[in-house]
């Protein structure tokens, strides 16, 4: 299939290439008869304009690249929605990449967005990628961390205080009378997961009669949560926790599925309380509505785009780290 060029359209319509460009971008500058002739040539030849090439010539694409850790996680869908609403208001689009908690895939998307000279990059990274983001910015592409608080003040970020969130979750379980608490979370390379555990430890540290058992998982997924829940059921009753803090709602949903297994499960919350993190829509719709720590996910996405646009407009602007506070949402899965 031959690619139709602007020159082909110009020849077919009997006008210059500049006139074809004006018909596409500034039709008010061209006579109605010429506009009609050029548009007829475009339709006849099946010409499709190459915005990417034009935007590269302009030096900046009208697309924002967003890289999320797990596209299956509704938390990131909400972030993407907030980012897209803010981008659309500025006449930009968002291209979504899923790193799947894999650093190679994350790097592939960063390379792709750099080659495409995107307007900017939003990323929820697996580990620390500060140096890579600083290199991007040196090449004229601003980047903002989402769902991760930047440790380097020269990189902007929009996140929630995950240490406060972890503490809030465990303080709630303790207030509900639970004393043998398990944290199901991992990989710990994801700093949000480690911070939530740190917050949990702060809450336990001031309650000597409370124990905290860490059950590591290799992914923040329903499957990993289900496996962890099944492992708890293999334990003798006296070695089982009386409460679980799951690193996010997907993990909590998997744990709930395992604990509710017919025949040899555990009653939630009667025998074991369960709290997640994010407060995704499915949390309230779970078979036992899930208590969770709410993140303002859409607002995180919107705010990240606002910061990104400011930095794209003025590369000298100072980086900002916006940290929202988490909110406890109590539902049936932890109620007394």
Residues found near ligand RIB in the complex (CB under 6 A)? 69-70, 73, 75, 124, 147, 190, 192, 220, 248, 277-278
Q: Which is nearer to ligand RIB, 86 or 124 (CB)?
A: 124
- Cβ-based nearer residue to ligand RIB, 63 or 156: 156
Q: Name the residue among 72, 39, 80, 134 with its Cα closest to residue 304.
A: 80
d(CA 78, CA 198): 26
For 63, 64, 142, 165, 294, the CA distances from 306, given in Å and listed in that order, are 14, 12, 12, 25, 22
Beta bridge partners of 184: 215, 246
CB of 238 to ligand RIB, least distance (A): 32
**Backbone φ, ψ for residue 330 (5° rounding):** -95, 125
Which lies closer to ligand RIB via its Cβ, residue 23 or residue 165? 165
Question: How far does Cα 36 stand from its chain's mean position?
Answer: 45
Least separation in angstroms between residue 89's CB and ligand RIB is 25
User: Which residue is at the shortest CB distance from ligand RIB?
Assistant: 248
Min dist. Cβ of residue 43 to ligand RIB (A): 47
Is the CB of 207 or the CB of 284 nearer to ligand RIB? 284
Residue 330, both tokens: 């109590």
We find the least distance from the C-beta atom of residue 125 to ligand RIB, in angstroms, to be 9
Least spacing, CB of residue 318 vs ligand RIB, in Å: 26
153: CB partners within 8 A, 6+ apart = 319, 321
Which string of DSSP letters, residue by residue, matches 10-21? HHHHTS-HHHHH
Rounded Cα distance, 79 and 249, in Å: 15
Q: Closer to ligand RIB at the Cβ: 84 or 278?
A: 278
Question: Which CB, 190 or 308, lies closer to ligand RIB?
Answer: 190
Q: How far is the CB of 91 from ligand RIB (least distance, A)?
A: 29
């Amino acid at each position: 299939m031959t690619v139709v060029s602007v020159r082909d359209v110009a020849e077919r319509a009997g006008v210059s290439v500049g006139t074809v460009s004006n018909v596409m971008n500034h039709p008010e500058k061209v006579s109605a008869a010429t506009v009609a002739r050029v548009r007829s040539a475009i339709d006849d030849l099946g010409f499709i304009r190459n915005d990417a090439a034009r935007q590269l010539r302009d030096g900046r694409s009208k697309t924002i690249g967003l890289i999320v850790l797990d596209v299956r996680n509704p938390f990131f869908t909400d972030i993407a929605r907030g980012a897209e609403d803010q981008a659309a208001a500025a006449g930009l689009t968002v291209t979504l990449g899923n790193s799947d908690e894999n650093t190679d895939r994350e790097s592939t998307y960063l390379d792709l967005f750099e080659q495409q000279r995107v307007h900017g990059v939003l990323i929820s990274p697996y580990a620390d990628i500060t140096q890579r983001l600083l290199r991007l910015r040196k090449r004229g592409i601003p980047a903002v961390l989402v769902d991760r608080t930047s440790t380097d003040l020269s990189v902007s970020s929009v996140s929630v205080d995950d240490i406060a969130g972890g503490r809030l979750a465990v303080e709630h379980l303790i207030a509900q009378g639970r004393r043998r608490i398990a944290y199901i979370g991992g990989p710990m390379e994801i700093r949000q997961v480690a911070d939530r555990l740190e917050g949990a430890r702060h809450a336990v540290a001031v309650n000597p009669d409370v124990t905290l058992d860490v059950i590591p998982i290799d992914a923040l997924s329903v499957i990993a949560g289900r496996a962890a829940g099944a492992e708890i059921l293999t334990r003798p009753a006296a070695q089982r926790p009386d409460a679980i803090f799951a690193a996010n709602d997907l993990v909590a949903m998997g744990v709930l599925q395992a604990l509710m297994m017919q025949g040899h499960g555990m009653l939630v919350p009667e025998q074991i309380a369960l709290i997640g993190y994010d407060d995704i829509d499915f949390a309230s719709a779970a078979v036992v509505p899930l208590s969770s720590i709410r993140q303002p996910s859409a607002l995180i996405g919107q705010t990240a785009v606002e910061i990104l646009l400011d930095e794209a407009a003025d590369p000298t602007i100072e980086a900002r780290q916006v940290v929202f506070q988490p909110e406890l949402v109590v539902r049936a899965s932890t109620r007394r």
